[in-house]
Structure 1
């Protein structure tokens, strides 16, 4: 029964994406504000569908960043992307370059100023910083996944240099974010499990640390907090 509900939810989610994505395309081309509005509304439609069809709720903990900053987030699932998009006032994601070509999702991502990065390229770090710099005129929350990809709950994976490069280059405070989203919406899984998916914003890391100390503190904040959320 859970699998059937999960499939119904997934079909409804993509149908809503098609309808809202097409409806908002022209306004999104004319205004970044409209692009954000449609993306945020879509995320809240997904939250409602999850809660109604599969019994999966979303909970936000901690202080949601409002000004310009870096949000370095634990990445376990497509769900944590949706939660951040629906919660932060003006997020801009550092994302895989291939997402740029994903129908509807890629269009809206580029409209709001996300930074596509070819992770296999030798100049990936410089390209990321250049793409982010181009969007600094429209301040927001630069969202990066410091492990570089989705990591299953409880799995250990090293923290890469990207978050430290942003922190050092732009002298912005960093807000770590923990999650347990992967428990309920796993990678390559059709099941969407009932429960409470949490994104927790942790205390801000101020500017001024050297890159090595920054990465050490970031990992020390995010990993234990994410592990604690697994016990909910």
Structure 2
């Protein structure tokens, strides 16, 4: 009975979350079209709305740990669900994401992502995207901010294992930007698929920087070890054993 009630509350929460995305996206769209400030304001406001409603509707709180970067760096983040995107964007002053190109055609999300400077990438063509991004930065056309990349390339369920892709090291080296590894336990409470949301404390943790210029093999080994170790610790703190069953 308790599970059924929590599932129903999760359904209401998810429903209102997407309704509010549509309302805010449409209401503020004229401002966002003519001003990047308007696009950032709308996205930040939406993040605050979801974080607030998650707290009182489903008992899910969000917390940021570690030093929040404010300069131009890469954020190499563990990605477990939509909630970690919201926590990261809300915490950073000017986040922009590397995202699948198909999302540009998604209603509201695509238009706002373009306006805040997200970088669309074709599947299987990340090398070309990295070259273009480096060229844009060199020409001064890339919007300043914190570039968020998911080194595993997709959402990964709590406890699952997926390889880290070398593009993160390449990009850090080519852009000359330090990398901030970022861990999370969000997937324990908000799974990558489905309606059900668990109450608890979802954490995103910014870890100490990895300097650019390291040999790529060393960079990737350090990145994977630090993100996975910290994420596993956060998941255990949340009562989930990443090496077994919750």
Are 1:145 and 2:147 counterparts?
A: no
Is contact 1:115-1:128 (8 Å) kept?
no
Compute the displacement of 1:132 (Å).
6.0
Compute the displacement of 1:155 (Å).
1.4
Give me the whole-angstrom Cα distance separating, in 2, the residues matched to 1:119 and 1:211.
22
Give me the whole-angstrom Cα distance separating, in 1, the residues matched to 2:109 and 2:41.
14
Aligned pairs, number: 230
Are 1:127 and 2:129 counterparts?
A: yes
Give me the whole-angstrom Cα distance separating, in 1, the residues matched to 2:48 and 2:11.
19
Which of residues 195, 209, 213 in structure 1 aligns to 2:214? Answer: 209
Per the normalisation by structure 2, the TM-score is 0.90
Is contact 2:126-2:167 (8 Å) kept?
no
Which of residues 213, 223, 226 in structure 1 aligns to 2:228? Answer: 223
State the SS of the aligned residue for 2:87: helix
Match of 2:53 in 1: 49
Compute the displacement of 1:189 (Å).
1.4
Give me the whole-angstrom Cα distance separating, in 2, the residues matched to 1:38 and 1:188.
25
Is contact 2:134-2:174 (8 Å) kept?
no
Asked which structure has the greater CA Rg, the reply is 2
Which whole-Å deviations, capped at 9, do the CAs of 1:44-76 have from their partners, x for residues lacking one? 100001001000000000001101000000011
After alignment, is 134-143 or 4-13 more displaced? 134-143
State the SS of the aligned residue for 1:177: strand
Which of residues 18, 26, 31 in structure 1 aligns to 2:22? Answer: 18
Compute the displacement of 1:101 (Å).
0.9
Where structure 2 has 5 or more consecutive residues not aligned to the other structure, the ranges are 238-246
Which of residues 92, 96, 105 in structure 1 aligns to 2:109? Answer: 105
Where structure 1 has 5 or more consecutive residues not aligned to the other structure, the ranges are none
Which of residues 156, 168, 171 in structure 1 aligns to 2:173? Answer: 168
Is contact 1:91-1:143 (8 Å) kept?
yes
RMSD: 1.3
Moved over 3 A (4+): none
